[in-house]
A and B are shown apart, each in its own frame.
Chain A
Amino acid sequence: MSHDRWKSADREEAYRQLDHPADIFFEARGGNLAELFEHALLALYDQIAELDGFDGIGEATIAVEAASREDALRELLAQALFKFESEGFVATEGDVLVREASDEMGHDDCRTEQSSPGSVSVLARLWGETADRTRHSLLAEVKAVTYHRLSVTCLQDQGWRSTVILDV
Chain B
Amino acid sequence: MSDLRQLEDWLWELPRTGGMRVPGRIYADADLAKALIGDESLGQVANVATLPGILCCSLAMPDIHFGYGFPIGGVAAFSKADGVVSPGGVGYDINCGCRLLATDLHKDDLKGNLKTVIDQLFRDVPAGVGASGAIKKLSREDLRQLLAKGSEWAVARGYGSKGDLERTEDGGRMVTADPSAVSEKAYLRGQDQVGTLGSGNHFLEVQTVDHIYDREAAEAYQLFPGQITLMIHCGSRGLGYQVCDDYLVIMAAAAHKYGITLPDRQLACAPIESPEGRRYLSAMACAANYAWANRQMIMHLTEQALLHALHISPKELNLRLVYDVAHNIAKLEHHEDEGAMVEVCVHRKGATRAFGPGRPEVPQLYRQVGQPVLIPGDMGTASFVCKGTEEAMRQTFGSTCHGAGRVMSRSQALKRAKGRSIDEELADRGIIVRSQGRKTLAEEMPEAYKDVERVVGVMDAARVSPRVARLKPLGVVKG
Which of A's residues lie within 8 Å of B, judged by CB? Answer: 17, 19-24, 48, 78, 82, 85-86, 88, 131, 133, 137-141, 143-148, 150, 165, 167-168
A146 near B411: Cβ-Cβ < 8 Å = no
Given contacts A21-B40, A137-B438, A141-B198, 20 further A-B contacts (CB under 8 A): A19-B409, A19-B412, A20-B409, A22-B409, A78-B245, A88-B130, A138-B128, A139-B438, A140-B129, A140-B439, A141-B128, A141-B200, A143-B93, A147-B248, A147-B265, A147-B266, A148-B68, A167-B92, A167-B241, A168-B200
User: Is B366 an interface residue when CB atoms closer than 8 A count as contact?
Assistant: no
Give chain B interface residues in 215-251, CB to chain A under 8 Å. Answer: 238, 241-242, 244-245, 248
Task: Give Cα A150–Cα B200 distance, bound, in whole angstroms.
Answer: 23
Determine how close the nearest CB of chain A comes to the CB of B257; give it in whole angstroms: 15
Q: Identify which of A19, A82, A85, A137 gathers the most chain B CB atoms within 10 Å of its CB.
A: A85
Known: A138-B130, A140-B199. A21 touches B93 (CB 8 A): no
Which of B's residues lie within 8 Å of A, judged by CB? Answer: 39-41, 65-66, 68, 92-93, 128-131, 185, 188-189, 198-200, 238, 241-242, 244-245, 248, 264-266, 406, 409-412, 437-439, 479
Determine how close the nearest CB of chain B comes to the CB of A141; give it in whole angstroms: 4
**Interface on chain A toward B: helix, strand, loop, or mixed SS?**
loop
Contact of A82 among B189, B406, B410 (CB under 8 A): B189
Task: Give Cα A139–Cα B199 distance, bound, in whole angstroms.
Answer: 10
A146 near B185: Cβ-Cβ < 8 Å = no
Task: Give Cα A168–Cα B66 distance, bound, in whole angstroms.
Answer: 13
Known: A144-B92, A144-B244. A48 touches B129 (CB 8 A): yes
Which residues from A are CB-within-8-Å of B409? 19-23
Task: Give Cα A133–Cα B238 distance, bound, in whole angstroms.
Answer: 17
Which residues from A are CB-within-8-Å of B264? 148
9 contacts between A and B (CB under 8 A): A19-B409, A48-B129, A85-B188, A85-B189, A139-B438, A139-B439, A140-B437, A150-B265, A167-B92
Task: Give Cα A133–Cα B93 distance, bound, in whole angstroms.
Answer: 23
B65 near A141: Cβ-Cβ < 8 Å = no
Known: A82-B242, A137-B438. A146 touches B68 (CB 8 A): yes
B266 near A146: Cβ-Cβ < 8 Å = yes
Determine how close the nearest CB of chain B comes to the CB of A4; give it in whole angstroms: 21
Contact of A148 among B39, B244, B266, B438 (CB under 8 A): B266
B241 near A138: Cβ-Cβ < 8 Å = no
B129 near A22: Cβ-Cβ < 8 Å = no
Task: Give Cα A139–Cα B304 distance, bound, in whole angstroms.
Answer: 28
Determine how close the nearest CB of chain B comes to the CB of A136; give it in whole angstroms: 9
Task: Give Cα A136–Cα B409 distance, bound, in whole angstroms.
Answer: 26
Which residues from A are CB-within-8-Å of B439? 139-140
Determine how close the nearest CB of chain B comes to the CB of A18; give it in whole angstroms: 9
* In the complex, residue of chain B having the shortest beta-carbon distance to the beta carbon of A90: B130
Task: Give Cα A140–Cα B188 distance, bound, in whole angstroms.
Answer: 20
* In the complex, residue of chain B having the shortest beta-carbon distance to the beta carbon of A82: B185
Task: Give Cα A11–Cα B131 distance, bound, in whole angstroms.
Answer: 28
Determine how close the nearest CB of chain B comes to the CB of A147; give it in whole angstroms: 4
B411 near A17: Cβ-Cβ < 8 Å = yes
A22 near B66: Cβ-Cβ < 8 Å = yes
B411 near A19: Cβ-Cβ < 8 Å = yes
B130 near A21: Cβ-Cβ < 8 Å = no
Which residues from B are CB-within-8-Å of A143? 92-93, 241
Determine how close the nearest CB of chain A comes to the CB of B198; give it in whole angstroms: 6
Which residues from B are CB-within-8-Å of A48? 129
A23 near B410: Cβ-Cβ < 8 Å = yes
* In the complex, residue of chain A having the shortest beta-carbon distance to the beta carbon of B238: A85
* In the complex, residue of chain B having the shortest beta-carbon distance to the beta carbon of A141: B199
The 10 closest A-B pairs by CB, nearest first: A141-B199, A138-B129, A21-B66, A147-B265, A86-B188, A143-B241, A143-B92, A141-B129, A85-B189, A85-B238
Determine how close the nearest CB of chain B comes to the CB of A146; give it in whole angstroms: 5
Which residues from A are CB-within-8-Å of B241? 143-144, 167
Task: Give Cα A22–Cα B130 distance, bound, in whole angstroms.
Answer: 22
Task: Give Cα A26–Cα B226 distance, bound, in whole angstroms.
Answer: 46
Which residues from B are CB-within-8-Å of A144? 92, 241, 244-245
A21 near B92: Cβ-Cβ < 8 Å = no
Which residues from B are CB-within-8-Å of A147? 68, 248, 265-266
Determine how close the nearest CB of chain B comes to the CB of A54; give it in whole angstroms: 13
Task: Give Cα A22–Cα B68 distance, bound, in whole angstroms.
Answer: 8
Q: Identify which of B128, B185, B411 gathers the most chain A CB atoms within 10 Å of its CB.
A: B411
Task: Give Cα A151–Cα B411 distance, bound, in whole angstroms.
Answer: 21
Task: Give Cα A108–Cα B189 distance, bound, in whole angstroms.
Answer: 38
